[in-house]
């Protein structure tokens, strides 16, 4: 009993430590400008729960994003949504398709190609940044979402590896049964493998979502106009414009707004992470 209480105590302590920055952001975003500034500078304490929450801070922050009132925020939000959705869909589809090929198709050179693909994981993003920029400029893709979205449709080495490991554990007989039932490889991937890969797809989708939603460097390099920028870039411009202590409540409000989709998604997909769907596929 004692050990259990101690465990809970430790876990609560850890959770509190991790939740603190979020809570702090939340509280500051709801304070009046004066109290927020005082809290930042340390000249006054901060209430656990704001006594007079300023919900208008959020509206204010949204209105002030970008150069066009309201539209700056709406543009950035819709750009972020479009890019993120396209990248998530592309990564899940392409990575699972390639993972299936590596796991289940026997073809000459598959092993060395797999190793080569794994080797690309060792390459830091900074190394490919300039060649990629030159390439996409050659294509005339600058200031469009294409440089951010198209590479996702060519698979992601880490997720391909994850899919391959998972698919290799799906009984071969399921694939064979589907072949006998009249399906080709593409249909097998779509109708059998992809539904069975739900746990991996959830992980892939959530991590890709968070990575793309929060991606700052990519949009900064390829998107140059206000209308085409994503939330992460808009947030940065907002910081440059309203980075003063007197506006910190607005910055916190906008930061929190930007984070909401990631938090919601993580909570929603949590269950699928741990769910093993392949249970009961065969004898048990």
Partner 1 sequence: MATIQFKQVSKVYEGGVRAVDAIDLSIGEGEFCVLVGPSGCGKSTTLRMLAGLEDITDGTLELDAQCVNDLSAKDRDIAFVFQNYALYPHLTVAQNIAFGLESRRTHRSALVAALRGNSAARHAESAAIEARVASVSHTLGLDALLQRRPRELSGGQRQRVAVGRAIARDPKVFLFDEPLSNLDARLRIETRAELRQLHRRLRATIVYVTHDQEEAMTLADRLVVMHEGRIQQNATPAQCYDAPANRFVASFIGTPPMNIIDGTIETREGQCSFVASGIRVALPSRWAPFSNTPRAITLGIRPDRVHISNASSNAIPATVESIESLGDRTDVALRCAMGRILMRSLPESLQNIREGDAVHVACDPAHIHLFDAGVAGARLTPIA
| Position 192 contacts partner 1 (CB under 8 A) | yes
C-alpha distance from residue 271 to each of 202, 265, 267, 283 (Å): 9, 11, 8, 25
Work out which of 179, 216, 246, 270 binds partner 1, going by CB under 8 A.
Answer: 179
Answer for the pair 158, 121: CB distance below 8 angstroms, yes or no.
yes
Work out which of 14, 69, 184, 243 binds partner 1, going by CB under 8 A.
Answer: 184
Work out which of 19, 105, 177, 268 binds partner 1, going by CB under 8 A.
Answer: 177
Tell me 281's DSSP state. Answer: S
Minimum CB–partner distance for residue 275 and partner 1 (Å): 12
| Position 181 contacts partner 1 (CB under 8 A) | yes
- Sequence-ordered alpha helix ranges (H) in the chain: 2-29, 33-41, 56-64, 71-104, 110-119, 125-139, 146-149, 157-168, 172-180, 185-188, 194-196, 198-213, 217-222, 231-242, 248-274
| Position 123 contacts partner 1 (CB under 8 A) | no
Q: Whose Cβ is closer to partner 1: residue 116's or residue 282's?
A: 282
| Position 38 contacts partner 1 (CB under 8 A) | no
Site for partner 1 in 146-175 (CB under 8 A): 171, 173-174
What number of other Cβ atoms are within 10 A of residue 93's Cβ? 17
| Position 104 contacts partner 1 (CB under 8 A) | no
| Position 110 contacts partner 1 (CB under 8 A) | no
Work out which of 187, 217, 245, 264 binds partner 1, going by CB under 8 A.
Answer: 187
> Tokens standing for 109?
């050179």
Residue 175 burial class via C-beta count within 10 angstroms: exposed 0-12, middle 13-18, buried 19 and up: buried
Tell me 30's DSSP state. Answer: T
Q: Identify the residue whose tokens are 């603190």.
A: 20
* Number of residues counted as binding partner 1 (CB under 8 A): 25
| Position 109 contacts partner 1 (CB under 8 A) | no
Applying CB under 8 A, the residues found at the interface with partner 1 are 171, 173-174, 176-184, 187, 191-192, 195-196, 277-284
């Amino acid at each position: 009993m004692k050990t259990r209480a101690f465990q809970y105590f430790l876990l609560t302590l850890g959770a509190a430590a991790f939740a603190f920055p979020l809570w702090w952001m939340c509280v500051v975003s709801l304070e009046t400008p004066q109290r927020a500034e005082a809290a930042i500078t340390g000249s006054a304490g901060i209430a656990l729960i704001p006594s007079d929450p300023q919900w208008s801070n959020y509206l204010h922050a949204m209105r002030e994003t970008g150069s066009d009132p309201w539209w700056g925020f709406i543009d950035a939000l819709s750009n972020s949504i479009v890019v993120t959705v396209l990248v998530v869909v592309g990564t899940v589809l392409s990575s699972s398709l390639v993972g299936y090929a590596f796991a289940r198709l026997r073809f000459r050179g598959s092993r060395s190609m797999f190793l080569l693909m794994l080797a690309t994981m060792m390459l830091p993003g900074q190394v490919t940044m300039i060649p990629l920029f030159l390439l996409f400029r050659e294509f005339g893709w600058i200031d469009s979402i294409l440089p951010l979205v198209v590479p996702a449709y060519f698979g992601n080495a880490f997720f391909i590896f994850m899919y391959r490991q998972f698919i290799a554990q799906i009984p071969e007989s399921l694939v064979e049964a589907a072949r006998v039932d009249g399906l080709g490889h593409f249909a097998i991937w779509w109708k059998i493998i992809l539904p069975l890969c739900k746990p991996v797809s959830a992980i892939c989708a959530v991590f890709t979502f968070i990575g793309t939603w929060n991606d700052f460097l990519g949009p900064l390099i390829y998107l140059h106009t206000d209308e085409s920028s994503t939330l992460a870039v808009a947030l940065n411009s907002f910081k440059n414009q309203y980075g003063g202590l007197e506006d910190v409540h607005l910055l916190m409000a906008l930061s929190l707004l930007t984070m909401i989709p990631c938090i919601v998604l993580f909570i929603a997909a949590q269950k699928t992470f741990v769910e093993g769907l392949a249970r009961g596929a065969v004898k048990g």
